[in-house]
Structure 1
């Protein structure tokens, strides 16, 4: 049979050219380009609109490109794994694991190396108060989560509670640090904080130590492996009027000392003061103290020490940002106005860039501010979540990406393909994954228009998603582990006591004389009574010395007293 050229071409298109699974290919450049931000710097965008001269427009465009090459803010990747404000963000030293904390009383772990563009979600959600060792009904918002700076195998978690907690990088709790006795008047004698812990920081070089600051007016240094008592405790005696010598410590930072001479701890207090101690002591006196660094009764939420240990940046509740020289710890080097969000979000922070050449912080309008540390003037102002306050920021030194957390529950990764490595680029270098039936549509995206775009799975007569879930109620769980089937009853959390309740077999085998609980007490005593002719073992010593009874014997009912006869 002769085949025409048209038929031959059709046959070639129909028959496979090779066997095995084919790689559809990923257009990485296109995926990265879709993450490009429309507005990088609002100030220069406004300048372009106001300037009608074409030459000035060209100059501003060139300035935008220079900013994109200077700061990693040209592209963004959004993670929406929290429903409430994100209060803290931390990454491990390698930049592969991201942990976010929120006011929903949970912190969530994200593995950036395993995410794909369509499956951006947390692989674990942890409530610090719903663990095996502390299964209680209480929950508190997350103030801080901090990866250990050197190894990255431990996560320090600070909640609105007097106790700090230590977790592994997989979210398993390994230590719960001691709470102090609140009835002791001398705070130096307590073994831990007696009220809420507000902030914490790791030792810059020793991975076995960290420091916490609390509302009990103390700063405490802890050993990671000793959870029953702190190593050192320092009581800050406030000298503000009406404070009675007690104030709240709002923030703490632990950095290297200038010129590499050990380390230093700096803490801020609610009375507006800044206090500095040597990281290795002495603890009985301060290295430096500034009264009125910020206004009294204002919450200084942000504090950071530069990489060389020379500069300190603080963000106060008095709507100011101040730069301090730790070598001349007396007056601020520079001050600028910046609206504060610490009254509503007390964990609003401020950070130095990895090389201390810039300072980053958020604003109540949802913008990221990148400041010059010498002048504290903004070098770039870029919108991240307009209309929703930007609470926490973090600039990772290895991957060179900026991660932000906002009040709308959104976590944003800002990056630049020319300057950044790994992180968001690793996610965007993978092929999109089609949404599975059990995936949560809030965290995944369906790219196949002929697939499960709606509720139905197939054509007429096919099972629907809701029908599948009703038949399989254990399939399709949320990130927190709850079932999506509204008809499935809530299963209460199993307490450790309920897990270890002994059964009857265990009691009989492991508890001595446990079988006696099933015996009649009277029968158990009578079996020790002596039989006729046997010697009384227990009370035989009183057989010869037992006194005679003194009660009167009656021969008949007639001789009984009238009172006794009446009772009968």
Structure 2
């Protein structure tokens, strides 16, 4: 059975004028529940100022509803600030008078729609003008907000269209470039430590250069050049994980380990070349081709050589290798490993061989059989110049002299993910490099015939598209290294120049520290050439001064107060017309400045200063003399000059 909805109307506070009329209509003293019919009364202009009384009555009405517990029923009442509404009503009283004269109908009564709107909401309502103004203001504010939001969205869209930080091309640090001169021959090896402070480069001219970014100026000169392996080109360089040691792989059969400053710490032993089984020898017997440090164990490194073996070494044990890995071709014959590398967690060792195969071994097992092996990875007879694992370890990049760069997925190692072709390479040490976030792989090309500049290529590892091509130099590009901490790219070229690319905002330290330092010119040492005549027995006036070095000359000039421009020394007593203002001792200085005594003569003889009070002390003894009058003999002072202490010689 459907019941009718019970609604509660407003409880209005009764005035004395209308109380008698309502008592006759209903017997309730508190008013009536439900809808109250509006009373038809005449509205005159003199009642326009009654808005304040109405608001106060509404306030009392709301308080009465709270006391009776009716304010919680039905629709929730709106909340208003009564004091603020009273002030607005006082300000808008003249305007309200005009509006109230216009609102009533022909009979002078208010419209039912307004009364319905008043009965719908429980609680005091603001004036009509103020509500209209507030609604207009809110509408205008909403329109302004929407308009500003649309403009901001349009501007954001324009900015996003102009610059996208996630785009691979915007991650390449190529806004600035620096140039470092290694020599005149090709730079075929390059390595940087993990902190990004040191850079080492090797060349076919047998030289190894060390570059220190924290100590270089804008002249970009290396602080040390040496030949660690005599007359052998430096084929490969690798810094340890801590950066305190560097592995030098040359054309000889013995790898060397140097410290950060280039001093030799270890040299691998050479094997016996007359032993056929390479696992029986203690070292390599042919020229080295590559090397790499272990990323987990800082004292272990790997080398590959032309004797068809890979050997792991421990830094503390230089007399013998740790493990021997043999590389085999298709029919079980020997094949030469041309490059080798560890992955980031040092669980895999990869090698690229001269027969075009890629072979990997698991370091947690015996090195008897390969973990992965792809025989036709590259063209047979072309050397694989570089094998590199990505930072995540799931992708392998190989660079070969067959003008290709291939990406491999370690989870599906049978076929390459993609092949980048037409990358001409003349050097068997041309490498490739991953970006720090593994989104790009970059490699350089050798200068083709008829082309003026060689390019550095950036490829996307997901879409396999060419992200960017940057012309670098008029020679070959051999080595590339994108440092993950500095966010800078170092490129070794065939004309002996190392180029560094960096971004002013995205890169940090490294080459940015050097370009702002000015070159400090050294003092020229004067070289005076002339024959010196040595005359040991010449008279002093004719004796010729000995030639001194520049350092000794500077030390002698330092001792000369005129040449060294020595300032005046502090005055201890009056000299040269200058008098000490406050005495020569600390006690005299304190006495004079504190006013404890008269002027103290620092230059007088202390013996004379004491004898000056001898007469007064003899006439009026007070302290010491009375105690020794009976036992102390009479003092006798010698007023004459002291005779010469030296006795005359007696014949």
Taking structure 1 as the reference length, the TM-score comes to 0.61
Structure 2 residue 325 is the aligned partner of structure 1 residue 230: no
Look up the match of 1:361. Answer: 443
Q: In structure 2, what is the Cα distance between the partners aligned to 1:307 and 1:75?
A: 26
CA shift, 1:339, in A, is 2.4
Q: Which runs of 5+ in 2 are unaligned?
A: 1-158, 448-453, 533-546, 551-651
CA contact under 8 A between 1:178 and 1:192: conserved in structure 2? yes
CA shift, 1:159, in A, is 0.2
Give runs of aligned pairs for residues 281-292 of structure 1, distance below 5 A. Answer: 281-292=365-376
Look up the match of 1:279. Answer: 363
Higher share of residues assigned helix: 2
CA contact under 8 A between 1:72 and 1:419: conserved in structure 2? yes
1:404-449 deviation per Cα after TM superposition (whole angstroms, max 9, x unaligned): 01000000110001100001111123234346548xxxxxxxxxxx
Look up the match of 1:395. Answer: 482
CA contact under 8 A between 1:334 and 1:375: conserved in structure 2? no
Give runs of aligned pairs for residues 179-198 of structure 1, distance below 5 A. Answer: 179-198=270-289
1:209-248 deviation per Cα after TM superposition (whole angstroms, max 9, x unaligned): 11111111111111111111110001112126xxx71221
Q: In structure 2, what is the Cα distance between the partners aligned to 1:468 and 1:188?
A: 63
Which residue of 415, 423, 429 maps to 1:347? 429
CA contact under 8 A between 1:393 and 1:404: conserved in structure 2? yes
Q: In structure 2, what is the Cα distance between the partners aligned to 1:415 and 1:469?
A: 52
Q: In structure 1, what is the Cα distance between the partners aligned to 2:234 and 2:254?
A: 12
CA shift, 1:280, in A, is 2.8
Look up the match of 2:347. Answer: 263
**Once superposed, what is the RMSD of the aligned Cα atoms?**
2.8
1:294-338 deviation per Cα after TM superposition (whole angstroms, max 9, x unaligned): 111101102110111111000112111111111222111111203
Q: Which runs of 5+ in 1 are unaligned?
A: 1-57, 130-137, 439-462, 476-568
CA contact under 8 A between 2:401 and 2:427: conserved in structure 1? no
Closer, same or farther: CA 436–60 of 1 in aligned 2, 3 Å:
farther
Look up the match of 1:246. Answer: 334
Structure 2 residue 206 is the aligned partner of structure 1 residue 122: no
CA contact under 8 A between 1:80 and 1:121: conserved in structure 2? yes
CA contact under 8 A between 1:68 and 1:416: conserved in structure 2? no
Tell me how many residue pairs correspond in the alignment: 371
CA contact under 8 A between 2:352 and 2:386: conserved in structure 1? no
CA contact under 8 A between 2:335 and 2:355: conserved in structure 1? yes
1:357-404 deviation per Cα after TM superposition (whole angstroms, max 9, x unaligned): 11111111322111111243321111111x201100001111110000
CA contact under 8 A between 1:69 and 1:418: conserved in structure 2? no
Look up the match of 2:380. Answer: 296
Q: In structure 1, what is the Cα distance between the partners aligned to 2:497 and 2:531?
A: 31
Closer, same or farther: CA 65–207 of 1 in aligned 2, 3 Å:
closer
Which residue of 158, 167, 172 maps to 1:71? 172
CA shift, 1:92, in A, is 1.2
SS of equivalent residue, structure 1 residue 113? coil
Which residue of 79, 85, 91 maps to 2:192? 91
Look up the match of 1:429. Answer: 516
Closer, same or farther: CA 340–64 of 1 in aligned 2, 3 Å:
farther
Closer, same or farther: CA 469–81 of 1 in aligned 2, 3 Å:
farther
Q: In structure 1, what is the Cα distance between the partners aligned to 2:424 and 2:363?
A: 29
Look up the match of 1:210. Answer: 301
Q: In structure 1, what is the Cα distance between the partners aligned to 2:489 and 2:295?
A: 21
Taking structure 2 as the reference length, the TM-score comes to 0.54
